[in-house]
Structure 1
Amino acid sequence: MQAGVWGRKTEYLPQEDGKIRRLVTLADGTVENDEIMTVAASTRINTGLTQRQFSKLLGVSVRTLQEWEQGRRQPTGAAKTLFKIAERQPELLKSLTLDF
């Protein structure tokens, strides 16, 4: 592929309800994937943290976070509460990463 030419473009589009829409478009304009991301994925993206940073902050493995983000498992207990806090106050959760 030539420099400056892209084959696939992924866009993360914030929705009014706080969720994130992921749109994957091929160079020819064909939409390859258009989906609303899970709460876990959209929450993490809204905080601007990597999977590694976010999983460390939550006290879970990266694999567990990936399972939540892909919808194969659902967070429970304290993780659900932290997701709610992160949805409403992403900067608060992000500020906690300074301790890591």
Structure 2
Amino acid sequence: MNKDHFTFSTDPEMATFERDLLLSVEQMKTGKVRVALSPIANIRNKMHLSQSKFSDLLGVSVRTLQDWEQGRAKPSGAAKTLLKIAELNPEALIAVA
């Protein structure tokens, strides 16, 4: 979207929201802002695994992993232990999976 051709809302609150949103998009495009990953997503990314492969290693569904990564659910005690192993010694998790 070209901001030169964008008409802001006449509602002051909505116009402020639109300007802030447009600024955020511009900052993301220029690399000034980065999306922070959850700790679980960071572990998965460090292992260079897709959600599908990582969820297979952990013995959970992709949906469950997504819920953990997005903060909609928290892993159980056993899953927390597996995640800690994945973080500290990923080769060990791969070896026993």
- Bin for the TM-score computed over the shorter chain: 0.5 to 0.7
Match of 1:48 in 2: 48
| Among 4, 21, 25, the residue aligned to 2:28 | 25
Deviation at 1:96, TM superposition (A): 4.9
Higher strand share: 1
Aligned residues: 71
SS of alignment partner, residue 52 of structure 2: helix
Q: Which runs of 5+ in 1 are unaligned?
A: 1-23
Q: Which runs of 5+ in 2 are unaligned?
A: 1-26
Residues 44-85 of structure 1: CA deviation (Å, up to 9, x unaligned):
111111110111111111001001111111111211001111
Cα RMSD (Å): 2.1
What TM-score do the two structures reach when normalised by structure 1? 0.60
Structure 1 residue ranges, 4+ long, deviating more than 3 angstroms after superposition: 94-97
Higher helix share: 2
What TM-score do the two structures reach when normalised by structure 2? 0.61
Larger radius of gyration: 2
